[in-house]
Amino acid sequence: LQSRELSARPPGGVSSPERLLTGRLLGCKSASALLRLVEDHRHVLNPIHCSSALAVLARLAPRAAPPSKGDARRLKLLEAEAEKQMQASEPRVLANMLWAVAKRRSSGGDAASWEAGEAFLGALLAEVAQKLAQFNAQDLSNSLWALAALSHLPGAKLSEDNNNTTNNNSNNNTANSNNTTNSNSNSNNNNLLQDMCLQSERHLSSSSNNNSSTNINNNDNNSTTNNNNKSSGNAFQPQGLANSLWALATLGHQPGQRFMGLAEEAVLRQLEDFRPQHLGNTLWACAKLSHQPSEAFLEATAREAGRKLQDFNPQNLTNALWAWMQLQYSVDRHLLHLVEQECLYKLESFTPQHLTTSLSAFAKQAYHPRSEFMQGHVAESRKKISQFTGPELAQAIWAYATLGRHPGRSFLERFSSESCKQSVSFNSQELTRSLWACAKLGYTPQALLLRRFKSQAEEQLAEFSPQDLVLGMWACVMFNRGRRTLTET
pLDDT in tens, 43-75: 999 999 999 999 999 999 888 888 899 999 999
- How many angstroms separate the CA atoms of 354 and 402, rounded? 18
Give the confidence band of 159 by pLDDT, cuts at 50, 70, 90: very low
Residue 165's pLDDT is what?
A: 34
- How many angstroms separate the CA atoms of 90 and 93, rounded? 5
Residue 389, number of CB atoms within 10 A of its CB: 16
Domain chopping of the chain, boundaries: 2-156, 389-489
- The 3-state DSSP class for residue 162 equals strand
Give the confidence band of 5 by pLDDT, cuts at 50, 70, 90: very low
Tell me the β-bridge partners of 162.
Answer: 165
Helix axes 409-421, 390-403, angle to 10 degrees: 150
The answer to whether the predicted template modeling score (pTM) of the entire model surpasses 0.85 is no
User: Which residue type does 392 have?
Assistant: E
- How many angstroms separate the CA atoms of 270 and 409, rounded? 49
CB proximity list for 146: less than 8 A, separation 6 or greater: 95, 98, 99, 101, 102, 103
pLDDT in tens, 166-212: 333 333 333 334 444 444 444 444 589 999 999 999 999 988 777 76
Spell out the long-range contacts of 26-35 with Cβ–Cβ below 8 A and sequence spacing 24 or more.
26/52, 26/56, 28/56, 28/60, 29/60, 30/60, 30/64, 31/57, 31/60, 31/61, 31/64, 31/67, 31/71, 31/114, 32/64, 32/68, 32/71, 34/60, 35/71, 35/74, 35/75, 35/77, 35/78
Of 21-25, 38-42, 114-118, the poorest mean pLDDT is in 114-118
Q: For the residues 289-301, what does the mean pLDDT come to? A: 97
